[in-house]
Structure 1
């Protein structure tokens, strides 16, 4: 299945208006015309709209991809691959279009919640302002409400207060205060942040043992990625694979890539190119650039999939658009040599420059996210 269907759907909405999603039969007709060479993808996009999945995701404040995939597999009898593709496509379309809706009378709702000390309502409203979900995003107001809740003993506020202190959202940046709040209530999210602090020495000394301790307390899917990175740096590849695998099962896209690469190389696990292809494909659906590059290489090699240079080039160009350093560098060489493509020095230079920009961004990127 081809992730280019995302562009087709966005183009259709831009041309006909977003209200077309409420006219399912008309939308299906228009999309089939626009993406006539992607009938399977069109079918899944339309099916999900008929099932109400697209609308549900628009209004889902706590979107979690695995929840939707499980639902579609159990109640719509979709294969996991089909469900993941559908949900990922919708997620990217929603992010691209930027749906916005307003919660009516939110200020009155907030006033009443304060007056009656309805802490659960205040917590929901604080998160609403923090996320910008149904209201204009307002970190200062979110900080104000979370701080009030903290003073009232609602410790679930600690993560959000810490996060805003850490990044200077709604309050002047203060890393020590962030660290204090994360430690005050070590829930799943705070544990992930503390693990990252110790892993990368972010205003504390690097301590891999403490980092792992906190990652193991977190149920966030990203925690599995950092567990794997720590274990891999310690050359415990078997344990690293198992950590990455847990993240991959939750569709954490970097974990999907890591699992695929270890399977491809037979490091920490028995070499299995068919399984590697499976994880690279899932990562591709989630727009993971290196997974897309690996699919290109497999299509060029023709080992576990049919050798298909046209498909390989399509993956390679998609990987470059997703900012894969390796893809940009290889395309630069292809256009320089005239291999698989017509020789074009201007394209060669452009892809080489893109590769260097990506390399610099990765070198300068601070790994705390």
Structure 2
């Protein structure tokens, strides 16, 4: 499966307008013509639209990838790999295109909810303003409603109030208040935030044990990633692998990469190249740049996979487009030396500059942490 189908679908929308998706036969015809070398990918994209999956995802406020994958496997008889690819393509299409719709009369709904003291409706509306889902994002309005809910004993609002205080969204930044709200109702989301505070020493003294405590209390799929990172720091690779594997089962893309990498290296788990390729491929479907790079290297090496320079270069170029530092550096060398590709000093310089920009961006991100 080739993630470049995303670009082809966007090209179709740009050329014919987004509404072509409602004329599925025409959309299928145009897409097949444009992506004639990706028939399997075209089939899955069109099938999902016929099944209404794309439309459902557009209007899904609480999108969870695994839920759609399970549904497609059970009711559309798709293989897990096919289902994941379809859902991932749609998720990135929706993010790229930026679908926007408005909930009519939302202010009337809000007034009515206040009048009736309907806290469940107020909570939904607060999240709507917080997320900007069906309404222009308005943190101040969200803060106002969540504060009202908190004053009335609705502690589910604590995470959102903590988040807004942490980031200064809709209210002046106040880390002490953010921590207080996170700790008041230490649910799954709040636990993840507190774990990150202690893991990186943000606003509190760095404490790996406290960080792990909070990550273990969280059911957010990202918590498995941070558990694994902490365990790797302790050289407990076996436990780290198990943590990453839990995240990978939830399709957390960094966990998919880490799981595949440890399987490839035989670190903390018995070496298994077939399983490594499986998880790296899933990570590639989720547009993970290092998964694409690792797959490129496997095709270059010709050990676990049959050597295929053409496929290797395809994965390598896609990894570079996804901002893989290693991929950009390697392509720079290839174009400079004329290895596998025609020598081109302009391309070599361009990829080298991109690699440096990626490196500088990561260093700045690390400094912020």
TM range (shorter): over 0.9
**What CA RMSD, in Å, does the superposition of the two structures yield over aligned residues?**
1.0
Instruction: Name the CA distance, whole Å, in 2 between partners of 1:318 and 1:176.
Output: 43
Q: Secondary structure at the match of 2:57?
A: helix
Query: For residues 215-256 of structure 1, what are the alpha-carbon distances to aligned partners after superposition, in whole Å with 9 as ceiling and x for unaligned?
Result: 000000000000000000000000000000000000000000
Which residue is equivalent to 1:220?
220
Which residue is equivalent to 1:12?
12
Which residue is equivalent to 2:59?
59
Q: How many aligned residue pairs are there?
A: 369
Instruction: Name the CA distance, whole Å, in 2 between partners of 1:8 and 1:150.
Output: 47
Instruction: Name the CA distance, whole Å, in 2 between partners of 1:96 and 1:291.
Output: 21
Which residue is equivalent to 2:185?
185
Instruction: Name the CA distance, whole Å, in 1 between partners of 2:87 and 2:271.
Output: 30
Instruction: Name the CA distance, whole Å, in 1 between partners of 2:361 and 2:150.
Output: 37
Deviation at 1:366, TM superposition (A): 4.5
Deviation at 1:304, TM superposition (A): 2.0
Instruction: Name the CA distance, whole Å, in 1 between partners of 2:207 and 2:109.
Output: 45
Instruction: Name the CA distance, whole Å, in 2 between partners of 1:234 and 1:126.
Output: 41
Instruction: Name the CA distance, whole Å, in 1 between partners of 2:107 and 2:367.
Output: 37
The 5 A counterparts of 1:327-338 are 327-338=327-338
The 5 A counterparts of 1:74-85 are 74-85=74-85
Asked if 1:110 corresponds to 2:91, the answer is no
Which residue is equivalent to 2:139?
139
Asked if 2 retains the 8 angstrom alpha-carbon contact of 1:300 and 1:309, the reply is yes
Cα distance, 1:368–1:56 mapped onto 2, change above 3 Å: farther
Instruction: Name the CA distance, whole Å, in 2 between partners of 1:183 and 1:41.
Output: 46
Instruction: Name the CA distance, whole Å, in 1 between partners of 2:349 and 2:178.
Output: 44
Which residue is equivalent to 2:235?
235
The 5 A counterparts of 1:163-174 are 163-174=163-174
Instruction: Name the CA distance, whole Å, in 1 between partners of 2:305 and 2:166.
Output: 46
Deviation at 1:41, TM superposition (A): 0.2
Misfit runs of 4+, over 4 Å: 366-369
TM-score by structure 2 length? 0.99
Instruction: Name the CA distance, whole Å, in 2 between partners of 1:135 and 1:181.
Output: 26
Q: Secondary structure at the match of 2:117?
A: coil
Instruction: Name the CA distance, whole Å, in 1 between partners of 2:75 and 2:45.
Output: 17
Query: For residues 61-112 of structure 1, what are the alpha-carbon distances to aligned partners after superposition, in whole Å with 9 as ceiling and x for unaligned?
Result: 0000000000000000000000000000000011111100000100000011
Gap regions ≥5 residues in structure 1: none
- The answer to which of 111-120 and 232-241 deviates more is 111-120
Asked if 2 retains the 8 angstrom alpha-carbon contact of 1:200 and 1:368, the reply is no
